[in-house]
């Protein structure tokens, strides 16, 4: 499923002599313009900054008590100064400071729990066929929420009208068993110049919501940015048990992913302590509705914040991708909350927390993906084949090279966002499937593709000889048309 909306209304422009796309000679400059500039103050009306806050950076040295006290004193002084400016009223326009961390936690953040990889879990495990997991509303009565064999689907229920004050305590008590902490590792640059440059592992943390199960797997929805490119993925449940997990499928342009946990890996006690969330109708929410946000804040375990629906149908741009039709809420969306639940007064999931407005002066602008808008995508991802990374001798290739058409380039030059092919190797799988120079790849086996790194990450799970469908834009009569082609992946001799 790919949106034609990602196409800009502008007509793509080519060099009249060479026929080359105009932007390719200036790709680096365009990408540099879009990249994070955390030390630059910009006006909010020009370049608002939104961040995910999900990757823990390399930990910084702990500050002394004297240093902390000095910083606190300076912050209080600054706060008084800002208050005076605010009270004065005239001539003061707030400057927004772009966040220094994209896909990251604040410096000094710590991971939730202890990595138990390699440790033997105490207690017995049950076979997948014996495990029964109730819905949130039926927790404790033994109701089995499994779906038909071989098929997974979202369970959606009708909301009832509630006029009484929201029972936050009751909502949290019944909903918490359906929330999981998602942890893993990413490879990041050291940030130093040669000869000290290199890469290192950094911890990541996010949140997920249990939305269903099939005969062999527990299925958890989260944000794509929480799991894309993450290794050693684990889920930590409400009883603090940590289990290995696998990405079943992701849709980067929707920021939605489904993570699978093998039912056979669950302890019997864990299976009894968790529940499957109930999904509400996000189309029926109104401004002023009370909401509860639950997530793995700062990677330190689940926490709860409360607020209201502040706005509807909002659009933001994060990491070169535009997201639309979002719910804005003043319930605090903290680092690590991404992928967590935004719940209505009935305790049903109406949104998946995704990003927040990053600014020193602005508070209370968090964003969530409406659950009703991604139900079809979620159903598709839940029924995808769960894959493991293939071994080196089975690695696959397409035979292409290209440049990324980022969000900024797409807006500026009128090209679809994806990978613009600069070369298609003769007799390669891509060539045999009919792809040519200047085609733009946007999808691979049902998953959206917005960059070369996206494609490389996806292909690690596909062996040579497999057939996949590639979605791409092809130029016809001066405009790009969306097409698809079946490609038999070749063997990567490298």
Give the Cα-Cα-Cα angle 25, 30, 33 (nearest 5 degrees): 150
Contacts of residue 426, defined as CB under 8 A and 6 or more positions apart, other chains included, come to none
- Would you call 32 a catalytic residue per the annotation? no
* Residue among 229, 232, 238, 231 nearest 207 (CA): 238
Q: How far is CA 115 from CA 111, 121, 453, 485, in A?
A: 9, 12, 28, 43
| Catalytic site residue from 99, 225, 330, 439 | 225
Residue 211 contacts residue 279 (beta carbons within 8 Å): yes
CB atoms within 10 A of CB 178: 28
255 is catalytic: yes
Identify the CA nearest to 50 among candidates 354, 281, 286. 354
Give the residue from 28, 49, 13, 10 showing the smallest Cα distance to 404: 28
Measure Cα distances from 224 to 208, 404, 488 in Å.
Answer: 11, 19, 26
CB 340 within 8 A of CB 352: yes
474 is catalytic: no
Annotated catalytic residue, options 159, 228, 255, 445: 255
Q: Which two tokens stand for residue 301?
A: 């375990």
> Do residues 490 and 430 lie in contact, with contact meaning Cβ atoms separated by under 8 Å?
no
Catalytic one of 338, 346, 396, 448: 338
Question: What φ, ψ does residue 271 adopt, rounded to 5°?
Answer: -60, -35
At 135, list the tokens: 């819905």
Task: Give the whole-angstrom CA distance, residue 411 versus residue 93.
Answer: 28
Here the tokens at position 59 are 């930990």
Give the active site residues: 225, 255, 338
């Amino acid at each position: 499923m790919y949106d034609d909306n990602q196409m800009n209304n502008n007509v793509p422009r080519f060099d009249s002599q060479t026929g080359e796309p105009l932007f390719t000679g200036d790709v680096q400059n365009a990408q540099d313009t879009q990249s994070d500039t955390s030390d630059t103050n910009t006006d909010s009306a020009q370049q608002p900054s939104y961040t995910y806050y999900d990757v823990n950076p390399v930990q910084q040295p702990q500050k002394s008590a004297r240093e902390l006290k000095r910083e606190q004193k300076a912050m209080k002084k600054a706060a008084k100064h800002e208050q005076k400016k605010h009270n004065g009223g005239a001539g003061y326009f707030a400057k927004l400071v772009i966040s220094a961390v994209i896909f990251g936690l604040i410096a000094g953040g710590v991971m939730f729990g202890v990595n138990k990889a390699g440790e033997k879990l105490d207690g017995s495990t049950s076979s997948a066929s014996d495990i029964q997991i109730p819905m949130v509303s039926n927790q404790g009565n033994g109701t089995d929420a499994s779906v038909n064999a071989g098929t997974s689907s979202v369970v959606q229920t009708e909301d009832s009208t509630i006029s009484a004050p929201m029972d936050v305590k009751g909502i949290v008590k019944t909903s918490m068993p359906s929330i999981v902490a998602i942890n893993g590792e990413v490879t990041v640059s050291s940030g130093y110049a040669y000869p000290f440059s290199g890469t290192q592992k950094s911890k990541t943390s996010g949140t997920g919501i249990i939305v269903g199960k099939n005969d062999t797997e527990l299925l958890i929805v989260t944000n794509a940015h929480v799991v894309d490119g993450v290794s050693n993925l684990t889920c930590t449940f409400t009883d603090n048990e940590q289990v290995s997990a696998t990405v079943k499928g992701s849709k980067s342009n929707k920021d939605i992913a489904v993570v699978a946990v093998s039912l056979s890996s669950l302890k019997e006690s864990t299976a009894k302590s968790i529940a499957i969330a109930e999904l509400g109708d996000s189309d029926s929410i109104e401004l002023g509705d009370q909401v509860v946000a639950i997530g793995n804040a700062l990677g330190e375990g689940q926490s709860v914040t409360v607020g209201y629906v502040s706005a509807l149908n909002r659009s933001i741009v994060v990491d070169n991708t535009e997201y639309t039709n979002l719910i804005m809420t003043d319930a605090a969306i903290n680092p690590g909350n991404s992928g967590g639940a935004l719940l209505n007064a009935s305790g049903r999931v109406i949104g998946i927390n995704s990003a927040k407005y990053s600014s020193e002066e602005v508070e209370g602008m968090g964003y969530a993906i409406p659950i009703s808008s991604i139900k079809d995508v979620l159903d598709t991802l839940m029924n995808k084949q769960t894959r493991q990374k293939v071994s080196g001798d089975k690695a696959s290739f397409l035979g292409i090279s290209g440049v990324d058409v980022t969000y900024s380039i797409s807006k500026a030059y009128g090209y679809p966002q994806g990978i613009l092919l600069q070369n298609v190797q003769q007799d390669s799988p891509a060539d045999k499937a009919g792809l040519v120079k200047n085609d733009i790849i946007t999808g691979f086996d049902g998953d959206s593709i917005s960059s070369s790194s996206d494609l490389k990450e996806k292909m690690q799970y596909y062996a040579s000889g497999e057939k996949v469908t590639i979605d791409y834009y092809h130029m016809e009569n001066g405009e790009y048309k969306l097409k698809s082609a079946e490609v038999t992946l070749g063997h990567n001799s490298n």
